[in-house]
């Protein structure tokens, strides 16, 4: 789907907090599909398809998204509608018909759920070996739940209170967190466990709170995790990142929520204490930044001294158009947000519906970057968060008569891999690292033996 987008040719006024009307948070899940007013105008078949898909993949949306972000006159092509509402193509025909037939036959709920669970297991619920290779172990060899430590300097933490979102993205690579299956979930409830791990790992400089969305938490819970980091024993933790979609899906979290003032105060105190605080905002389309509430929330966060960095994947049906990315990056810079990552859609969930070939991803990135100034060219990509590390497609070239992808590691399980260029045979259908083969007659990648040894060690420990 090619989206026609006008160029950004006007200033971006930002509403003050007191100019944004408070509104209650109202959420809809699968059982509420019949209560979403715009859906009542759709055909019964379309609503049935949503029911089938949302039986397998998680669905959650709120009234703000329905009322202010979706252009219902453009449905089903509207990008925010595609971002939040289930589409039949998100399941293969075989998977769809398996669940649909159960509904048509009046099967019991338990039977339907069992079938849905089997389908989920075929959708690569935990890509890039994140369960086997990223979760550290304590001195006794027990896996530490709720922490991932893939790269030397950075620890990811999954607070149990933040393992949901104000709305769910249909493409989300962490969809398995939200389907109610504890065996697929990554979460931790004890701040003590996190702080204990950080005390033992002084190589860690960056702590990333992720989920789900940590901004669904009450501020008092976030304080319990963050405030202890101000003690001198945590001086090695220089940067605190918070991954969030709240600026898009519920900006009122930073404005009129009951503890919004406490949240803003917490961010400000963290900054004044010397921590670099970064909200890693997930944006998929420029429309997410157009509402008065979104702009007021951005302004309020920036007033604390915290930085907002923007990242998101290239997604078919939503933003697979250079003009969308160029306008999004221009908008972000004008609002004081730093473009950070241009990701490739991960090989999980509904990837067959959303993925874009690497060759086309690079073309879109290149064409978009050419349309913006240097301040917007901070977005790195196209980047694949694969098991060995973050691999960037730097371009397509011809060397000694062979057409190749030029690749490099932005991050790697071994830091020595970072910034070392390597080459893959050109493949216009490849969508992920494991689809590629080394160029120039090489039998394996320069990092492959070491990676396999690391994986054998980690997976062996898991077994």
Pairing of strands 389-399, 380-385: antiparallel
Domain termination residue (choose one: 121, 136, 167): 121
Predicted pLDDT of residue 85: 97
Regarding whether 46 and 175 lie in a shared domain, the answer is: no
Identify the CA nearest to 69 among candidates 60, 80, 78, 84: 80
Regarding whether 439 and 324 lie in a shared domain, the answer is: yes
Please indicate, yes or no, if residue 11 is contained in any of the structural domains: no
pLDDT in tens, the chain (463 residues): 444 443 333 344 555 666 677 788 999 999 999 999 999 999 999 999 999 999 999 999 999 999 999 999 999 999 999 999 999 999 999 999 999 999 999 999 999 999 999 999 888 776 656 556 788 887 777 788 889 999 999 999 999 888 889 999 998 877 666 655 555 455 556 788 899 999 999 999 999 999 889 999 999 999 999 999 999 999 999 999 999 999 999 999 999 999 999 999 999 999 999 999 999 999 999 999 999 999 999 999 999 999 999 999 999 999 999 999 999 999 999 999 999 999 999 888 888 899 999 999 999 999 999 999 999 999 999 999 999 999 999 999 999 999 999 999 999 999 999 999 999 999 999 999 999 999 999 999 999 999 999 988 877 655 4
Regarding whether 216 and 163 lie in a shared domain, the answer is: yes
Please indicate, yes or no, if residue 1 is contained in any of the structural domains: no
Please indicate, yes or no, if residue 268 is contained in any of the structural domains: yes
Please indicate, yes or no, if residue 334 is contained in any of the structural domains: yes
Please indicate, yes or no, if residue 210 is contained in any of the structural domains: yes
Domain termination residue (choose one: 104, 121, 138): 121
Token duo for residue 16: 């003050």
Predicted pLDDT of residue 447: 97
Q: Is the peptide bond before 377 cis (omega within 30 degrees of 0)?
A: no
Whether residue 181 contacts residue 188, with contact meaning beta carbons closer than 8 Å, is answered with no
Q: How buried is 356 (Cβ within 10 angstroms: 0-12 exposed, 13-18 middle, 19+ buried)?
A: buried
The CA-to-CA distance between both ends of the chain, in Å, stands at 44
Regarding whether 194 and 75 lie in a shared domain, the answer is: no
Regarding whether 366 and 289 lie in a shared domain, the answer is: yes
Regarding whether 75 and 172 lie in a shared domain, the answer is: no
Regarding whether 146 and 77 lie in a shared domain, the answer is: no
Token duo for residue 462: 């898991």
Please indicate, yes or no, if residue 277 is contained in any of the structural domains: yes
Predicted pLDDT of residue 11: 42
CATH number at residue 328: 3.20.20.70
Q: How many domains does the chain have?
A: 2
Domain termination residue (choose one: 72, 105, 121): 121
Predicted pLDDT of residue 28: 97
Regarding whether 363 and 326 lie in a shared domain, the answer is: yes
- Whole-model pTM? 0.91
Token duo for residue 260: 């919004």
Please indicate, yes or no, if residue 186 is contained in any of the structural domains: yes
Please indicate, yes or no, if residue 253 is contained in any of the structural domains: yes
Regarding whether 136 and 70 lie in a shared domain, the answer is: no
| Rounded Cα distance, 355 and 432, in Å | 9
Give the containing element (helix H, strand E) for 406: strand 402-412
Regarding whether 251 and 107 lie in a shared domain, the answer is: no
Predicted pLDDT of residue 2: 40
Regarding whether 271 and 397 lie in a shared domain, the answer is: yes
Predicted pLDDT of residue 23: 84
Regarding whether 260 and 237 lie in a shared domain, the answer is: yes
| Torsion sign across C-alpha atoms 89, 93, 99, 104 | positive
Identify the CA nearest to 462 among candidates 227, 189, 131: 131
Range of the domain at 116: 23-121
| Rounded Cα distance, 102 and 248, in Å | 36
Predicted pLDDT of residue 139: 76
Token duo for residue 439: 């160029």
| Alpha carbon separation from 389 to 124, 242, 293, 447, 454 (Å, rounded) | 18, 21, 36, 11, 12
Predicted pLDDT of residue 123: 86
């Amino acid at each position: 789907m090619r989206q026609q987008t006008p160029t950004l040719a006007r200033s971006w006024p930002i509403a003050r907090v007191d100019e944004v009307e408070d509104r209650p948070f109202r959420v809809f899940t699968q059982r509420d599909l019949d209560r979403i007013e715009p859906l009542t105008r759709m055909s019964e078949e379309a609503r049935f398809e949503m029911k089938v898909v949302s039986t397998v993949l998680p669905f959650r949306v709120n009234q703000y998204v329905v009322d202010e972000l979706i252009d219902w006159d453009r449905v089903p092509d509207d990008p925010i509608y595609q971002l939040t509402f289930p589409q039949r193509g998100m399941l293969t025909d075989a998977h769809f018909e398996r669940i649909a037939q159960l509904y048509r036959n009046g099967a019991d709920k338990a039977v339907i759920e069992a079938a849905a669970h089997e389908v989920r297991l075929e959708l690569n619920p935990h890509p890039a070996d994140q369960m086997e290779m990223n979760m550290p172990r304590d001195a006794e060899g027990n896996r530490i739940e709720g922490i991932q430590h893939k790269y030397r300097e950075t620890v990811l933490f999954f607070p149990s209170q933040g393992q949901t979102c104000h709305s769910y993205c249909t493409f989300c690579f962490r969809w398995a967190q939200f389907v109610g299956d504890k065996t697929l979930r990554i979460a931790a409830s004890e701040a003590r466990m996190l702080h204990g791990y950080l005390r033992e790992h002084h190589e860690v400089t960056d702590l990333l709170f992720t989920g789900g969305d940590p901004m669904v938490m009450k501020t008092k819970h976030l304080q319990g995790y963050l405030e202890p980091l101000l003690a001198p024993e945590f001086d090695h933790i220089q940067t605190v990142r918070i991954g969030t979609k709240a600026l898009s899906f519920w900006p009122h979290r930073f404005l009129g929520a009951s503890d919004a003032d406490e949240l803003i105060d917490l961010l400000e105190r963290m900054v004044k204490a010397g921590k670099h605080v970064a909200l890693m905002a997930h944006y998929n389309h420029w429309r997410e930044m157009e509402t008065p509430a979104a702009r007021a929330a951005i302004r309020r966060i920036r007033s604390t001294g915290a930085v907002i960095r923007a990242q998101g994947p290239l997604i078919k049906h939503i933003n697979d158009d250079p003009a969308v990315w160029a306008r999004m990056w221009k908008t972000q810079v004008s609002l004081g947000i730093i473009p950070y990552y241009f990701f490739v859609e991960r090989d999980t969930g509904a990837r067959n519906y959303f993925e874009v070939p690497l060759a086309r991803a690079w073309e879109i990135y290149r064409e978009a970057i050419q349309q913006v100034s240097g301040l917007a060219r901070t977005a790195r990509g196209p980047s694949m968060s694969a098991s060995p590390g973050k691999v960037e497609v730097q371009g397509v070239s011809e060397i000694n008569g062979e057409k190749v992808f030029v690749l490099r590691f932005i991050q790697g399980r071994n830091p020595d891999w970072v910034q070392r260029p390597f080459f893959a045979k050109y493949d216009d259908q490849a969508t992920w690292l494991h689809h590629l083969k080394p160029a120039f007659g090489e039998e394996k990648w320069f990092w492959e033996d070491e990676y396999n040894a690391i994986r054998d060690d980690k997976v062996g420990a898991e077994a």
